């Protein structure tokens, strides 16, 4: 047990830093970035609980062949920990994980991480301003501030195809790759044609005997134009960090400039994206029948735009088949499609995505008056600027509702959230606040504005993981990243109910009634 986590009585009137314990849940990009900013601010009274046995989140888990980032390396890194040594314009997963391991060591963050600890319940005590967290090992931890950095796309989603357990061969999900299984010379199926599939398909195709890709919906794919950074280039970035900053800024502003093509519901803009993608398809696939099958029939940007230099070309290989007949069921020897054909395989790869972590609380969370976050989110996950939820004081979410970008690096959003959270922590500590709780009217106004924009966004025009079952979008931010950052990076006390230690505890309802 880490020393600075003590019983809740200790926090009646915190004065010293050690009386201000902070818990970060999750040691992925968000949790690590938050910890570094706490370190920079001289705040060391934090603990990171990580349910796995290593840091890295997405980049620890996604190790399938070809796993890489589809955001340029210079943009997909923390602005306060830039890396001149990326070997490619788009980093492979292992290199990003190496980068994260490196900064964790540099900042000696491991001293603050407890591995193998899952939080399964959190409860707020309004009297003391303390969160009590129940750990999977039966222990409890307490914290004045909790930062939920659990990520939005973490737990693999398996399709509800009948007979999925009946298959007698090898199965794996892209996010849980089994490196002990050798695909050399095997008949392999890949189910799914999303961002993971476009990376794994070209990577395994040359190794397997035959690859069949089961496509339910074709995707818009644009060229990646990936390339190596030469040693000379990397040396230049090492010697002149300004060049690295310029490269990062250029990539960021280009993505902002072209972003509206990806997120606006503007057919003329979408048509530009579609033209680029169709030209790419023509250059990669000569067979017109195959091209037809690979051409999407939904508006560009509606589902996640895919980026690849070699996905479509893979279907021209002799040992690769694109199967568009819908899957009927999985059987012992393979996959039967609706037309009755049984396709036999040695292995099935599920490139079928993730459970949307944002749809619910990551574990039961009870705020003021014992209200549960799942109840608060019954009609969809909402939070003020994607970070704070009224009635759940001192609880901050990184990569929360409506903060995902379809067009740029998610880390731009995450860094703004880290700054906001840090601002709140400093305010609480400096002014000895018991809690800060975002005002319900402020949260509602913010989310009304977010949802009012959605009809102008392209995402409502097709099915994707972006949308809840009722068709509402609680995952993506409807606008440019710079606008979100400008609005989110400062903690504005006027948006919050800031309660001092000596003030009587009142419920949100009483506050509203009094007002």
Nearer to ligand N01, 135 or 303 (CB): 303
Q: Of 352, 394, 414, 473, which one interacts with ligand N01 (CB under 6 A)?
A: 352
Smallest gap, in angstroms, from Cβ of residue 484 to ligand N01? 17
H-helix or E-strand containing 86? none
CB of 174 to ligand N01, least distance (A): 6
Q: Which member of 69, 188, 221, 399 binds ligand N01 (CB under 6 A)?
A: 69
d(CA 7, CA 488): 33
Task: Candidates 65-73, 369-377, 389-397, 441-449: pick the segment binding ligand N01 (CB under 6 A).
Answer: 65-73
- In terms of Cβ atoms closer than 10 Å to its own Cβ (0-12, 13-18, 19+), residue 9 is exposed
Query: Is 301 among the residues that bind ligand N01 (CB under 6 A)?
Result: no
Q: Which of 26, 353, 478, 479 binds ligand N01 (CB under 6 A)?
A: 353
Binding mask 373-412 for ligand N01 (x = CB under 6 A): ----------------------------------------
Structure token pair of residue 497: 């109910």
Task: Output 214 or 459, the one with its CB closest to ligand N01.
Answer: 214
Residues facing 404 on adjacent strands:
476
Are residues 144 and 11 in contact, defined by beta-carbon separation less than 8 angstroms? yes
191 bridge partner residues: 214, 350
Q: Where are the alpha helices (DSSP H) in 383-464?
A: 410-430, 440-453
Report yes or no: 134 and 118 within 8 Å, Cβ to Cβ: no
Report, in Å, the least distance between residue 199 CB and ligand N01: 6
Q: Which helix (H) or strand (E) holds 27?
A: none
Number of residues that bind ligand N01 (CB under 6 A): 24
Phi, psi of 111, rounded to the nearest 5 degrees: -60, -20
Considering the complex, state which of residue 161 and residue 505 has its C-beta at the smaller distance from ligand N01. 161
Nearer to ligand N01, 172 or 243 (CB): 172
Shortest approach of ligand N01 to residue 294 CB, angstroms?
13
CB atoms within 10 A of CB 17: 13
Closer of 78 and 424 to ligand N01 (Cβ): 78
Give the residue with the Cβ less far from ligand N01, 354 or 396.
354
- Cα three-residue angle 487-493-496, rounded to 5 degrees: 95
Closest distance of CB 193 from ligand N01, Å: 4
Integer CA distances (angstroms), 201 to 214, 367, 464, in order: 11, 45, 21
Which residues, 17 to 46, sit near ligand N01 by CB under 6 A? none
197 binds ligand N01 (CB under 6 A): yes
Place of tokens 């993506």: 476
Q: Which is nearer to ligand N01, 302 or 438 (CB)?
A: 302
Among the listed residues 19, 39, 54, 70, the single contact to ligand N01 using CB under 6 A:
70
Give the total residue count for the chain: 515
Nearer to ligand N01, 74 or 304 (CB): 304
Phi and psi dihedrals of 23, rounded to 5? -115, 135
> Residue 1 and residue 138: Cα distance in Å, rounded?
12
Whole-number Å distance between alpha carbons of 513 and 515: 5
Q: How many whole angstroms from its chain centre is CA 237?
A: 28
3-state secondary structure of 313: helix
How many Å apart are CA 312 and CA 296, to the nearest integer? 13
Segment 431 to 490, residues that bind ligand N01, using CB under 6 A: 465
Determine the interface stretch with ligand N01 among 29-37, 67-75, 376-384, 478-486 (rule: CB under 6 A): 67-75
Under rule CB under 6 A, residue 216 binds ligand N01: yes
Q: Which is nearer to ligand N01, 20 or 252 (CB)?
A: 252
Q: Which helix (H) or strand (E) holds 241?
A: helix 241-263
| 194 binds ligand N01, rule: CB under 6 A | yes
196 lies in the site for ligand N01, by CB under 6 A:
yes
Residues contributing to the site for ligand N01 (CB under 6 A): 69-71, 153, 159, 161, 174, 191-197, 214, 216-217, 304, 327, 351-354, 465
């Amino acid at each position: 047990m880490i020393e600075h986590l003590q019983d809740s009585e200790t926090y009646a009137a915190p004065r010293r830093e050690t009386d201000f314990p902070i818990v970060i849940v999750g040691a992925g990009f968000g949790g690590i970035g938050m910890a570094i900013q706490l370190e920079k601010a001289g705040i060391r009274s934090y603990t990171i609980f990580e349910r796995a046995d290593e840091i890295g989140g997405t980049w620890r888990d996604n190790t399938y062949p070809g796993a890489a980032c589809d955001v340029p390396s210079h943009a997909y890194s923390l602005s306060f920990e830039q890396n001149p040594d990326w070997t490619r314009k788009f980093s492979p997963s292992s290199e990003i994980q190496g980068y994260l391991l490196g900064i964790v060591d540099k900042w000696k963050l491991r001293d603050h991480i407890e591995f193998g600890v899952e939080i399964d319940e959190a409860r707020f005590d309004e009297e003391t301003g303390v969160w009590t967290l129940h750990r999977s090992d039966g222990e409890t931890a307490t914290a004045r501030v909790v930062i939920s950095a659990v990520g939005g796309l973490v737990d693999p989603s398996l399709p509800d195809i009948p007979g999925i357990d009946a298959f007698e061969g090898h199965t794996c999900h892209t996010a849980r790759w089994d490196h002990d299984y050798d695909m050399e010379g095997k008949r392999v199926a890949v189910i799914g044609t999303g961002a993971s599939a476009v990376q794994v398909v070209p990577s395994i195709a040359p190794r397997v005997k035959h690859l069949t890709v089961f496509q339910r919906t074709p995707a818009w794919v644009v060229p990646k134009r990936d390339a190596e950074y030469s040693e000379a280039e990397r040396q230049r970035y090492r010697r002149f960090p300004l060049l690295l900053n310029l490269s990062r800024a250029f990539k960021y502003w280009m993505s902002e400039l072209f972003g509206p093509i990806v997120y606006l519901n503007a057919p003329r803009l979408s048509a530009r994206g579609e033209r680029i993608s169709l030209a790419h398809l023509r250059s990669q696939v000569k067979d017109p029948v195959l091209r037809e099958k690979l051409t999407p029939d939904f508006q560009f940007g509606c589902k996640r735009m895919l980026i690849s230099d070699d996905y479509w070309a893979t279907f021209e290989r002799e040992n690769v088949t694109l199967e568009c007949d819908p899957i009927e069921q999985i059987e012992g020897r393979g996959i039967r499609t609706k037309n009755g054909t049984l396709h036999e395989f040695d292995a099935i790869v599920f490139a079928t995505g993730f459970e949307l972590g944002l749809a619910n609380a990551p574990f039961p969370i009870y705020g003021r008056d014992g209200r549960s976050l799942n109840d608060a989110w019954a009609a969809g996950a909402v939070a003020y600027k994607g970070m704070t939820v009224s009635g759940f004081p001192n609880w901050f979410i990184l990569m929360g509702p409506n903060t995902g970008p379809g067009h740029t690096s998610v880390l731009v959003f995450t860094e703004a959230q880290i700054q906001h959270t840090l601002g709140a922590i400093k305010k609480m500590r400096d002014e000895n606040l018991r809690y800060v709780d975002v005002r319900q009217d402020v949260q509602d106004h913010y989310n009304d504005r977010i949802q009012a924009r959605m009809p102008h966004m392209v995402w409502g025009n097709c099915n994707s993981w972006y949308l809840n079952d009722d068709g509402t979008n609680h995952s993506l931010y409807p606008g440019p990243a710079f606008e979100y950052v400008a609005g989110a990076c400062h903690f504005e006390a006027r948006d919050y109910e800031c309660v001092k230690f000596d003030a009587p505890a009142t419920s949100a309802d009483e506050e509203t009634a009094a007002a």
